[in-house]
């Protein structure tokens, strides 16, 4: 059985990586990015709920007295 010739593998892999890098650079360079993005104004609405003004306690089932 003949021996597998691996002498050209290095140049093949390097050229493949270089080609992929160039293709990705071309893809990225075609995108247009906003130069100065403006922040969106978020309107916060204040809801009047009865539990906001007083302190409420949440009881966990383990802290309740045993029956």
Average of pLDDT values for 19-34?
A: 90
Enter the pTM of the model: 0.44
Position 47 scores a pLDDT of: 65
Confidence of residue 49 (pLDDT cuts 50, 70, 90): low
CA dist list (Å): 5 to 12, 16, 24, 39, 52: 13, 18, 31, 59, 77
Average pLDDT value for the chain: 79
Q: What does the block give as tokens for 31?
A: 């995108």
Average of pLDDT values for 13-37?
A: 90
Distance from C-alpha of 10 to C-alpha of 4, rounded to nearest angstrom: 14
Average of pLDDT values for 27-44?
A: 79
Confidence of residue 25 (pLDDT cuts 50, 70, 90): very high
């Amino acid at each position: 059985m003949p021996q597998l010739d691996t002498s050209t593998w290095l140049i093949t892999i390097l050229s493949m990586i270089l080609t992929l890098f160039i293709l990705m650079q071309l893809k990225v360079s075609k995108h247009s990015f906003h130069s100065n993005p403006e922040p969106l104004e978020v309107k916060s609405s204040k809801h009047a709920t009865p539990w906001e003004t007083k302190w409420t306690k949440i009881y966990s089932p383990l802290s309740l007295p045993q029956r």
